[in-house]
Structure 1
């Protein structure tokens, strides 16, 4: 099998749950903060309020963002593009498998209810914070600014018109990366790298501009730090760590790691 065939198979394996509309593409109407995660509504609001507004249209930052975003079109249909289609899946437990190669395991090879619950709560906190920022100040997505721009995922016309800043995908990915870094400190560098690559995938997909991703990463780190300071978080982390140890004991690893390494070796514009 050639390299491209292997990449398609690897991407398909990761895309099992990607048919639905990602949370980041929901309509951007303001909504009450739900507290399904670790953080109170008031703390989520405070974290959102600390995020600066999006770049002003026509400003140097905005123009630099748009110039770089246009260069990412050169990656369409290539190896990195295929990986970005897989990274579009953000919800646990499927999204956690993006970290298989970084952790040297195969998540999904054993039951991990505590790990899934931990990550779901972190997802809820980070998604809520990002949505509040989006509702505060609208910035169009690259695929919204350019109706001819090809996304690497299925996006409706309404989805093209949703807000780009900050990248909720990058916020969520960063929270996952920080959580895995806390679960396995010896693999923290690798976990954080994949979280960052998930953010970069949103540039490849034409779904966000660089400063959207950068803001999402800062917000994600703040959300994780706040969640980690709440009562009960350490106990949840300990329970999840035990499950991750059990997964590692199976000895199974992802068959897509070689393809992932090839895709991540693609130079980005």
Structure 2
């Protein structure tokens, strides 16, 4: 779901929303059914500000392999990188500016699409003479790319890095942790641990209650709080399109019982019922 939010923000040129989702742990490397990342979408729509933000916050998780990677060189189903898409927009002002930016940022020139074309060859096929001139010079050195990227990151970087505790993963016969694709995914915004670790941890805590009952109760209270946050998060994700329309003014909240104020109060009430204090009281009783 986070990838859909990033692609929507990139398409609508919503820079604040883009930064908000990236700061919350959204994955910039997620791809849609055509293999397009948020960066592809921003380039295709000519939104330079969004392109800068996504290049400054490019590291994420490959949705196919679970490996940590950069979104800049990810290829679509047609083999297009962001640079391929930029040069395919025939001499548009935004396309040239984005092409120049991607080159200065260090985008590779040697990646081929499914038809075996590098970005410069695709520019030639598209009669994009302005873009071709940008490829006639020497590519930036590693030092120049690093300096330019440092400047862009200082301006736009907003991603947060959250360490994942692999110690709860199962071990193989040699005692090494078995790390699955899910273990490599970012921790969802609002949670303190990966979703799939919540209930295994609860099971461990329950099993330990005979030895240390107070510790088990504290762990269970914490886990119930995590589950409550997760439930609210999933509800917001499931209804995110409606939230977006309402916040943009396309849809309006009805007066009376369905007002935005009452809705927010209801969400607050749900969170309070799943708070540590409330849950602890019910557990102790």
Using structure 2 for the length normalisation, give the TM-score: 0.21
Structure number with greater Rg is 2
Going by fraction, where is helix more abundant, 1 or 2? Answer: 1
